[in-house]
A and B are shown apart, each in its own frame.
Chain A
Amino acid sequence: MTTEFERPAAKATGKKYGSVADLMRGESVPQEIQEKFKELERETRVVVQLAKLRQAAGMTQEEMAKAMGVTQSAISKLESGTDLDLTLREIKEYSRVTDQRIGLMFGKPLTHVEAVKCHAQAIRQHLEALAMIANRHDELEKDIQGFFGEAFFNILTILAECGDKLPGNGRDSGVRIEVLKQGGPRGTIQRGKALVTDVAA
């Protein structure tokens, strides 16, 4: 058995890792332990995010407990536990106390196509809501009109830039979008014209 006298002093190795998963891979920790680690990690994704929300809000467990009307040990237990032990009420309380939005989705992740369709539908709903506001509030009409212009231009820019990444710059996709930009430093919203042509025609 190794005694304290025989144990060589620990020395920094100079090897740095950005995550525990990277460390385990880099240090050749046996595959079955890495798998077990992943399994445990999957069981605690929500509680870890809740603990992160509290930490990011600069709150101690005691402060969180007080705001939720529970004990500090209940918060400690919750944040050290697994997702299956959580209640929706607790998740809602973390959202309320930290004033952060929390969205939970279960089941299969959306495919890329489904995700684009969902976002497009959501954009439509929000733009329609803004249009209704513009109709009801004259004082907001100009700003909302301006926002529509920016949104139109930016959405087309996204489509154009992504289309350019397609094989052959997207010439075979049927529609070619070319955005004619005007001035403005990089990273700012640029106003300009978008030229949409039906290349199939």
Chain B
Amino acid sequence: MQLWLGEDGGGSVLDVDNIPNWNMIWLRIMWQIEPTTGWERDQKHYAKKRPNELAAVMRNLDRYIKLLNVSKNSKAVQAGYLHTEQSGVLAVDQRGGGGNLQETRLYTYADDETKTVYLIAIGDKDAQHADVEYSKEFVRTYKNRAETQ
């Protein structure tokens, strides 16, 4: 691993992910992200009302995806900003996004078979129970559909 930290703290990260031919080899096992209609609706609401919280959970989603790409499977990924819920639902929180952020969770489901992370919903602490149930329903329907196909 080689990291290049630019003057502004940015710059390029030089590691195996940035070697073109290596990426071609790994393309088949790279995880993809698929939004659901639930996430589409929630992200519009958060973009207007809680933009910093949205940016923070998306940053942690980015970290999660990067870890998935080097892990054996989705269950092997371990991070402080990830919370395991029932039925395979995994919540990504806003941790590390700065002070005074409202507690926010992005609900996801990772399908190890298709290497796809589904973004189901975004919500605050008050809506946690309803959001988890909503996400579980998505996973239930998704799994039923996959079984019948």
Expressed in whole angstroms, the minimum distance between the Cβ of B25 and any Cβ of chain A is 13
Known contacts A10-B36, A23-B33: does B96 contact A109 (CB below 8 Å)? no
Q: Is the CB of A27 within 8 A of B65?
A: no
If the complex has contacts A42-B10, A79-B79, A109-B4, are A9 and B137 also in contact, measured as CB distance less than 8 A?
Answer: yes
User: Is A19's CB under 8 angstroms from B80's CB?
Assistant: no
Instruction: Tell whether, in the assembled complex, residue B37 and residue A40 are in contact, meaning their CB atoms are under 8 Å apart.
Output: no
B9 partner residues in chain A, CB cutoff 8 A = 42-43, 83
A80 interfacial contact with B, CB 8 Å: yes
Contact string against B for A residues 51-63, beta-carbon threshold 8 Å, 1 for contact and 0 otherwise: 1110110101100
Known contacts A9-B137, A17-B34; is-contact A61 B78 (Cβ 8 Å)? yes
Q: Which residues of B contact A10 (CB under 8 A)?
A: 36-39, 120-121, 134-135, 137-138
- The residues of A that contact B141 with a CB separation of less than 8 Å are 9
Question: Chain B residues with Cβ under 8 A from A37's Cβ?
Answer: 55, 58-59, 62
B129 closest partner in A (C-beta): A4
Shortest CB–CB separation between residue A51 and chain B, in angstroms? 6
27 contacts between A and B (CB under 8 A): A4-B130, A7-B134, A9-B38, A9-B137, A10-B134, A10-B138, A12-B142, A13-B37, A15-B35, A16-B32, A16-B34, A20-B58, A20-B59, A42-B10, A48-B63, A49-B15, A51-B66, A55-B70, A55-B77, A55-B78, A58-B72, A61-B78, A77-B80, A79-B80, A80-B95, A82-B96, A109-B11
Contact residues of A with B, CB < 8 Å?
4, 7-21, 23-24, 27, 29-30, 32-33, 36-37, 40-46, 48-49, 51-53, 55-56, 58, 60-61, 76-77, 79-83, 100-109
